[in-house]
Amino acid sequence: MGRQGNSAVESPWYRTMLTPAGVDDEHYKWIALSNTTLGVLMATIDLSIVLIALPDVFRGIHLTPLTPGNTFYLLWMILGFMVVTSVLVVSLGRLGDMYGRVKMYNLGFAVYTFFSLLLAICWLTGPAGAMYLVIMRIFQGVGAAFLLANSSAILTDAFPEHQRGMALGINQVAGISGSFIGLVLGGLLGPINWRLIFLVSVPVGIVGTAWGYLMLHEVPRRRMAGKIDWPGNITFALGLVGIMIGITYGIQPYNGHVMGWTSPTVLISLTLGVLLLVAFAIIEARSDDPMFRLTLFRIRAFSAGSLSTLLASIGRGGLMFMLIIWLQGIWLPEHGYSFASTPLWAGIYMLPLTAGFLIAGPTCGYLSDHFGSRPFATGGMLAAALSFLLLEMLPVNFNYAVFGFLLLFNGLAMGAFAAPNRAGVMNSLPPQHRGVGGGMNSTFQNAGQVLSIGIFFTLMIIGLASTLPTNLFHGLVAHGLPVSVAERASHLPPVSTLFAAFLGYSPIQHLVGAKVLLHLPAAQRTVVTGRGFFPTIIASAFKNGLHAAFDFAILACLVAAGASWMRGGKYVYVEAVHAGVPETIDGAGTGADGTGRSLQPEPAAG
């Protein structure tokens, strides 16, 4: 394992450029790590904190989210934040390369904090209140995208190559674990007051913003010359939004079908999205100042790492939803928890997954600094595939000690992949492309999560549709409900049952209706609305869908492991210096890495 590229020749001029007067590099790098980790942690907590608190939010604005006309608000409260971060991270990383990464990062902290405050002071109710929250949530996501797009580049600038894996590991794992910490926070704060799930970010955001403006600084480097690639930005944003809109509406029922993949809206959105992304690729290949630097894919460590990021994200992105529904819809009610309390307890029972991330991420990131990214990232994906296989072998009503151990194992596997892979990607990039390159990698991760949610929900709904209607019909009739009511309930889309369980509502009460249940004898009503009836009805159908979802996750992780192995040995980009002045790198590039220089041959695999 050796360093790639030419060795930098130190000179007084070069040392001055790297270390501004009066700045203690050893001290500054820890300031950069602590601030960027705080920013990424808060951004990803807000990605998931809404999930568990959604029932409290909708009760607070007096809106029923499961009413067909209100499904739009439900989906975009969940996915709007994720969609906007996926769309913007590359563009904002490019702006950081051009105008200063710290400047863009600090602006993002301020924007994020401001819109967190606006979310907390919502005064509207009903559909108007829901639309207000969706719009403010999207703008909050814009601020988060600034943070996510520039944090990795700031750390890569601040840390020497032998410590980047550790630093990026801490940052990356904080981001991944933040999505699970948000579940617990949402479950704790939402019942007290739904506004607290947004308000909690405000004081942290104020501190982070002030801290960043006072303590962070730009590391001197050659700024990217050029202009903003508007055609590329617009086609990329519209294309990605089109595909994500198609996915979100594809899992909703349409015209008597359990899903909407045949809906004209979905087909048009997906088709236009793909065509716009094709146009985007053509524009970028011809642009003098492209937003998405396709030439970076000539760097094997970058292209293999980015592909494995996408595949790993597809493999795990829908996992959180499936595990939450498994816990909330079946296991927790069967073990004595009321449906209303299941959102909080689902977050608590998933903490072993977070613990695995927290243990493996920094540890494997540190080790990857010395041994390279490939053994840890590839091994992590293989271990993740094994953990999904073991989870698939569990009965629906599992022993939690085994389930918790497998969650810990999965978290360790994903942490072992995430931090070294991110470090490998960032180490491979020329300094002036770290913002856009890091943004590209984040786009693969975020877009993969949205795609994964669509795939996992589709597989789960197919599994439910196979046996749930029959089981539900016979179960309701056997407990005294009229045949017409049971028939209507059994033909409701399975996605509504999933969302009812996900939101902590009583699924049977949602499917049948409270007024109908009042006409049942008290004993029968207690049974069908009790904690054991719905889990028994859904268990076999849920198992079919869950197995299909896990099989897909196993396949995605195995392919990701193969992509990760293709990255080769340890690779660190090092700039050449001639006569004490770093050589100029143009934006288009003609060398082996697409950045205007020829690199030495890549090391042999191993």
- Lowest mean pLDDT across 405-409, 481-485, 549-553: 481-485
| Mean of pLDDT over the chain | 81
CA-wise closest residue to 121 among 42, 193, 43, 46: 193
Q: 220-234, 259-273, 437-451, 465-479 — which is least confidently predicted?
A: 220-234
Digit-coded pLDDT (tens) for 281-307: 898 888 877 777 778 888 888 999 999
Contact indicator for 463, 541 with CB cutoff of 8 Å: yes
Cα 37-346-417 angle, rounded to 5 deg: 45
Which has more confidence, 391 or 296?
Answer: 391
Summarised one tens digit per residue, pLDDT across range 62-98 is 988 877 677 778 888 877 888 888 788 888 888 888 8
Q: Tokens for 243?
A: 């595909």
Q: Which amino acid is at 338?
A: S
Q: 406 to each of 232, 388, 391, 410, 496, how far by Cα in Å? A: 43, 8, 7, 6, 29
Q: Which of 42-46, 207-211, 256-260 has the lowest mean pLDDT?
A: 256-260
- The predicted model gives 438-467 an average pLDDT of 83
pLDDT on residue 221: 59
As a 3-state breakdown, the chain gives helix, strand, coil percent values, each rounded to 5, of: 75, 0, 25
* pLDDT range class, residue 219, cuts 50, 70, 90: confident
Q: Is the pLDDT of residue 8 over 80?
A: no
Token couple for 108:
């993002």
pLDDT the model gives residue 220: 67
The Cα 312–Cα 604 span in angstroms is 25
pLDDT surpasses 60 at 214 = yes
Alpha carbon distance 268, 253 (integer Å): 17
Residue 25 pLDDT grade (very low, low, confident, very high; cuts 50, 70, 90): low
Minimum mean pLDDT range among 93-107, 175-189, 203-217, 592-606? 592-606
The answer on pLDDT for 569 being more than 60 is yes
- Report the pLDDT averaged over residues 37-41: 89
Residues 6+ apart with CB under 8 A from 252: 71, 75, 259, 260, 493, 495
Helix (H, G, I), strand (E, B) or coil at 582: strand
pLDDT score for 226: 62
Residue of higher predicted confidence among 281 and 507: 281
Residue 18 pLDDT = 39
- Residues belonging to the chain: 606
Least confident range of 5-14, 57-66, 75-84, 426-435: 5-14
For 462-479, what is the mean pLDDT? 85
Q: What is the mean pLDDT of residues 167-188?
A: 81
pLDDT in tens, 228-241: 778 888 898 888 88
Higher pLDDT, 140 or 346: 140
First to last CA, the chain: 8
How many Cβ atoms sit within 10 Å of the Cβ of residue 255? 8
User: Which of left, alpha, beta for 159 (phi over 0: left; psi -120 to 50: alpha)?
Assistant: beta
φ and ψ of 224, to 5 deg: -70, 125
Q: For tokens 């994200």, what's the residue?
A: 313
Q: With contact defined as beta carbons under 8 Å apart, do 548 and 300 qualify? A: no
Angle at the Cα of 164 (from 161 to 169), degrees rounded to 5?
160
450 DSSP assignment: H
pLDDT at 225: 55
Residues 318, 502 contacting (CB under 8 angstroms)? no
Q: Which of 119-133, 236-250, 472-486 has the highest mean pLDDT?
A: 119-133
